[in-house]
A and B are shown apart, each in its own frame.
Chain A
Amino acid sequence: MKLRVKYSGQLRTATRCGEEDVGWSPDRTLAELIAHLAERHAAGRPHLLSDSGAIRPSLLIAINDAAVMANEANATRLRDGDVVWLLPPIAGG
């Protein structure tokens, strides 16, 4: 199955792409996806994960435009065609 992953803010800069397709399997969770993306884009890792490997609590996550809290990622599975949007906080003023 395939997911669409969108990156915003500094994550977009770090990954050098606004969005990309990612091959995935239905038995793997959102938390595993975020860990996978942190490996795939080393420069994006600090915006996704803390030093201990936990998902940053201030990372905004949406699946098909519905908000998902970081602490729900372990229990969240993904389906073919899901759009996962990752938005680290921004504060430019």
Chain B
Amino acid sequence: MEDTGQRSELDAAERNRYEWQLWVPDFGEAGQRRLKEATVLVSRIGGVGGTAALQLAAAGIGKLILAHGGELRLNDLNRQLLMTTDWIGKPRVESARRRLRELNPHVEIETIEANIDEGNAADLIGRADLVVSAAPLFAERLAMNRAAVQLGKPLVDCAMYDLEGRLTTVLPGRTPCLACLYPEPPPHWKREFPVFSAVSSTVGSLAAMEAIKVLAGFGEPLASRLLVFDLRNPCFETLPLRRRPDCPVCGPISRPAP
């Protein structure tokens, strides 16, 4: 993420494309160059992660690695906004690549037609500067968390259910990790859950903003805090989180604040 000159310089087309966000105080051209230098891994590009990827592509992230196995189904289309109806039966990641390139051809896109597991997590996370974790299963989220903490990579965990969303940013060694919150996968969570795209997209957009802030180095991330919102009777709250001293994932790791 260091400014290495040539590669992160913005050309005239990029300056024009990002003009309105370059006006954001504390971001500016230095922030835009940091985004251009950055690689973000998005685990699953469904209702939450798909929108996060869309927002990151719009914002000009240098490279996105998209991991999601399987083919598009008709009943994905109420929320998976990177998909198109003509793509049913074909790999989701290919539709995502096409849509994101249509939006912003400056973004390099690598697609992995597989979900994250213990076997591929460390390799994929090792190649990214930050991770957006949006899988519908705790096993995947906890595998992402374990590898991200071990490799010292920031991880934005974003989740939803019904009209509710939750979001926290894990800064390894400095904040609680996902295993501090959830030491065991809850046995009654199901892969299929009630969802409107308006909710999953909200969570995904919030996750993208967390990623943009952490990568560009401005604002305050949701560190040691869980943002919880409920759109049924709209309310946004943040809940302070505590590290588990005996956490098997982050317990042994401690880094001083930079």
Contact = CB atoms under 8 A, between A and B. Distances in A.
Contacts of A9: 161-162, 164
Interface range on chain B (Cβ under 8 Å from partner): 35 or more
Given A67-B240, A89-B189, A91-B161, 8 more contacts: A87-B166, A90-B161, A90-B193, A92-B160, A92-B161, A92-B195, A93-B48, A93-B160
Interface of A: 8-10, 12-13, 18, 46-47, 56-58, 60, 62, 65-67, 69, 85, 87-93
Nearest to B178: A89
B186 A93 contact: no
A57 B136 contact: no
Contacts, number: 94
Interface of B: 43-44, 46-49, 133-138, 141, 158-162, 164, 166, 181-189, 193, 195, 200, 226, 228, 230, 232-233, 237, 239-242, 244
Given A8-B164, A10-B161, A65-B240, A93 B183 contact: no
B212 to A, nearest CB: 19
Contacts of B188: 10, 46-47, 88
A57 B49 CA distance: 27
Contacts of B240: 65-67
